[in-house]
Chain A
Amino acid sequence: VNATRAVRPEVTAYLDEVREALGDVPPDERDDLLAEVEASLVETAEESERPIAARLGPPDAFAAELRSAAGLQTADGQGRETLATRLAERVERALADPRLARAKALYAELAPIWWLLRGYVAVALIALLAGRDWTDRVVPHLPRARFGAAAILVAVVASIALELRARRAQARQTASAGVVVNLVLLVAVVPVVVHLLHTPAPAVVVETVTSPANERGLTLNGVPVDNIYPYSRDGRLLHDVLLYTGSGRPLDVKSVAADPLRRVPVSRGGARLYNAFPVRYYERGTHRVAQPDAGPRIALPRFRTPALKASPRTAAKRPRRSGANAARARIR
């Protein structure tokens, strides 16, 4: 056993004083630091006969230098401060992660998109927290959609303005505050997106005013009638049946007259017969009706009542000459 292997009392005394000066440092951290120092002191003591304090300075100064170089808190803050220090160290370590650096680089490239997006997210978050309605899906109502839209515009402009100012100032303090705001908004993206995905599509309410007084054309209990299917008593669908009211007015269905595909029969005199039923439609680009016998799904009743005998006189009283002639011709 070599004599120099034993720790000299001088070294122990010096270490004790350093330890005392580091009284507020968390024990495990302090022990690690002192173990480091001790090993070195032992080694230096072997190499030199000069007193330790002469080489290393007073223990207090040594402890202060150690503390400062190790980035430890000063003696003012006790337990709470050291907890904060540890937390800060953790954060510092996490921030030094190369993956974070890559993420930062990506963020820098995508930042302008985020500046726009976060303005919207900020407004959407406020709307969410306030429990506002988003009936038109994208723009929150504050309390109306146009105020929501205005708020988004303001938020986006403010977002860009803040970013530009921060870049110019390059103030660390505002930058870290910005990081917190960005993180909050980034997290807020989740509920906002969830909300957007779960908001049902707005129901398109097309109000159809069916007031009989205002309704032009033929109606049934206020509902416009746009077609009539006349059947003969033996169940045949009749074509081009002309309908008239008691006063002789044609029962026109003009509400569908605008349809260019509608087949509007024309009289020999050139009159358009809007009261010819059933109304038929041409195939697009042709003058052909694909299914002339198509009709509503109905169960036709069978007649018990005997058929009326139409007299030639009644037929002659028809207002339209052409129709009357045709009837006469048929009857004769």
Chain B
Amino acid sequence: MDRSQLLRGTLDAAALAVVAEQDGYGYDVLRRLRAAGLADVGDASVYGTLRRLYRAGALTSYVMPSDEGPHRRYYGITDRGRAQLADARTIWRDFSRALTDLLEIDVEVTA
């Protein structure tokens, strides 16, 4: 199984979940995703995803001055983003349950 392929399909939900927890700027979201276990998530993927979610209205954004460099663009979740996240949760729950069942049966058979 290719992790990067899995990530590609689930990064929207992951990014929405991180921002829903707390507003964050690009690198902050990236760090939190990695800290959550998605160590191999790509920088460009996260930034691009955030921009796309913002353009789609799932995220809102505001600029905060920073002492340590350029201004940071923070993202917050919108109602639309929350709805999208709720949908993603349902899909993931069903999907992962199904796949878990399938894969664990397979393990038992081969074991």
Contacts and interface: CB of A to CB of B under 8 A. Distances in A.
A65 B42 contact: yes
B38 to A, nearest CB: 14
Interface string B62-99: 00001011111100000110011000000000000000
A302 B104 CA distance: 120
Contacts of B43: 37, 40, 44, 56, 62
Interface of A: 2, 4-5, 7, 29, 32-33, 35-40, 42-44, 46, 56, 62-63, 65-72, 89, 92-93, 96-98
B46 interface: yes
A67 B48 contact: yes
* Most chain A CB inside 10 Å of its own CB: which residue of B44, B57, B69: B44
A70 B51 CA distance: 6
B49 interface: yes
B55 interface: yes
Given A89-B56, A96-B56, A40 B47 contact: yes
Contact of B44 (A69, A97, A98): A69
Chain A interface, >50% SS class: helix
A96 B57 contact: yes
Given A36-B50, A40-B30, A65-B48, 6 more contacts: A44-B43, A46-B68, A56-B43, A67-B48, A69-B11, A93-B55
Contacts of B27: 39-40, 43-44
B56 A92 contact: yes
Contacts, number: 99
Given A36-B26, A36-B73, A92-B56, A68 B79 contact: no
A89 B70 contact: no
A35 B52 contact: no
What are the nearest 4 A-B pairs in CB distance? A69-B48, A70-B48, A40-B27, A65-B44
Contacts of B22: none
Interface residues of B, number: 30
Interface of B: 11, 25-27, 30, 42-52, 55-57, 66, 68-73, 79-80, 83-84
Contacts of A40: 25-27, 30, 43, 47
A43 B69 contact: yes
A5 B84 CA distance: 37
Contacts of A62: 43-44
A40 B37 CA distance: 20
Nearest to B70: A39
B71 A89 contact: no
Contacts of A67: 48
A200 B11 CA distance: 62
A5 B3 CA distance: 35
* Most chain B CB inside 10 Å of its own CB: which residue of A37, A67, A92: A37
B70 A42 contact: yes
Contact of A42 (B50, B69, B84): B69
A65 B45 contact: yes
A70 to B, nearest CB: 4
A98 B79 contact: yes
Nearest to A5: B69
A154 B42 CA distance: 56
A5 B49 CA distance: 27
Given A39-B25, A39-B26, A69-B11, A33 B47 contact: yes
Contacts of A35: 70, 73
A75 to B, nearest CB: 15
Nearest to A39: B70
Contacts of A39: 25-27, 66, 69-73
